[in-house]
């Protein structure tokens, strides 16, 4: 079976990739393609794309690491961060005050060999097995959002972690500027896989942006693949406050240009203390995302959470639920 996973950030790599990797290692007939968001503008990634004029390496780095068979010590070294003052913006999160070594290596590959050849060689460096990580675009671009009051907020970082606009203002639409076409290899994958997995992840700053490059919507409309959305466990400050599972799916469909085949959502509600502890670690997380009212048979609810700890997804539960759909 061929599977394409769309999404960036940490949610998709943490919630899906470990279990897919385990099946590949076990010898399952499974070929994985991944395509992360490539419009990040914050932290180390944002500084590197600004100073070096390259594509943001942060999310595709996570995808390559997830399927790497390189020695553990090498992967550990690649995760080292070198402290450096990145910008005038002061961040409480120490990750924003250092460059990730692997980010810098990916920048060097792109500058030396170009985007396509550079990332192909990065697969060799990381000894990636059973997966192909495809940059969704080959030229830099940014995501922007129009709010309901007509104002425009610029770049992924401001959408993801708002600092200069009302976090309660609803996003009306998002778009990319400059317009760029999708990587032809992504369009080829969309048309040749059996299942396309979208998410989990932040709605606008992570998932929708993967659908905005030229040609993606048309390819999604034409593909015969089953398209499965995995909704996140919680709503998010600045993007999805007040959203139900149905709201989330409807918004994805508006950019997808078609109906989703299935919507996989978490039906487990953790106790209040556990959820509050998670919110302390993830301050943009809000209420648990739930079904409101009636939902058709495409909406598949399941307990997707770890048995304890953060209200995040257990990859084995998620992938078991995905495989049950096909």
- Domains of the chain and CATH, by start: 2-325 (3.40.50.10680)
CA distances from 82 to 79, 86, 94, 105, 192 (A): 10, 11, 11, 13, 40
- Would you tell me how many other CB atoms lie within 10 Å of the CB of residue 53? 11
pLDDT in tens, the chain (326 residues): 999 999 988 999 999 999 999 999 999 999 999 999 899 988 888 888 888 999 999 999 999 999 999 999 999 999 888 876 544 444 444 444 578 899 999 999 999 999 999 999 999 999 999 999 999 999 999 999 999 999 999 999 999 888 888 888 899 999 999 999 999 999 999 999 999 999 999 999 999 999 999 999 999 999 999 999 999 999 999 999 999 999 999 999 999 999 999 999 999 999 999 999 999 999 899 999 999 999 999 999 999 999 999 999 999 999 999 999 98
pLDDT at position 88 is 44
Residue 143 has a pLDDT of 95
pTM: 0.93
pLDDT of residue 84: 61
Burial class (CB in 10 A: 0-12, 13-18, 19+), 55: buried
Task: Return the pLDDT at 85.
Answer: 56
Q: How, if at all, do strands 234-236 and 285-288 pair?
A: antiparallel
pLDDT, residue 38, reads 92
């Amino acid at each position: 079976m061929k599977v394409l996973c769309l999404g960036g950030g940490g949610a998709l790599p943490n919630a899906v990739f470990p279990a897919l990797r385990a099946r590949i290692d076990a010898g399952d007939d499974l070929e994985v393609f991944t395509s992360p968001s490539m419009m990040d503008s914050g932290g180390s990634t944002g500084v590197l794309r600004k100073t070096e004029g390259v594509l943001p390496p942060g999310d595709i780095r996570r995808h390559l690491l997830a399927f790497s068979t390189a020695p553990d010590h090498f992967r550990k070294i690649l995760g080292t961060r070198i402290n450096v003052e990145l910008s005038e913006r002061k961040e409480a999160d120490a990750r924003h005050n250092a460059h990730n070594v692997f980010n810098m290596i990916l920048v060097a590959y792109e500058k030396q060999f170009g985007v396509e050849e550079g990332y192909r060689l990065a697969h060799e460096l990381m000894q990636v097995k059973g997966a192909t990580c495809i940059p969704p675009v080959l030229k830099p671009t940014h995501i922007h959002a129009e709010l309901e009051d007509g104002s425009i907020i610029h770049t992924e970082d401001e959408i993801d972690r708002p600092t200069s606009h009302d976090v309660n203002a609803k996003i009306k639409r998002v778009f990319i500027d400059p317009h760029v076409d999708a990587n032809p290899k992504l369009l080829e994958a969309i048309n040749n896989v059996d299942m396309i997995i979208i998410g989990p992840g932040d709605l606008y700053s992570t998932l929708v942006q993967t659908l905005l490059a030229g040609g993606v919507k048309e390819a999604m409309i034409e593909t015969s693949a089953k398209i499965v959305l995995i909704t996140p466990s919680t709503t998010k400050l600045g993007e999805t406050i007040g959203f139900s599972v149905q709201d989330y799916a409807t918004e994805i469909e508006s950019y997808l240009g078609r109906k989703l085949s299935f919507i996989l959502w978490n039906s487990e509600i953790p106790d209040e203390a556990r959820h509050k502890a998670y919110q302390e670690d993830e301050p943009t997380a809000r209420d648990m995302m739930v079904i409101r009212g009636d939902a058709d048979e495409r909406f598949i609810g399941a307990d997707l959470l770890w048995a304890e700890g953060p209200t995040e997804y257990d990859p084995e539960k998620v992938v078991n639920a995905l495989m049950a759909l096909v």
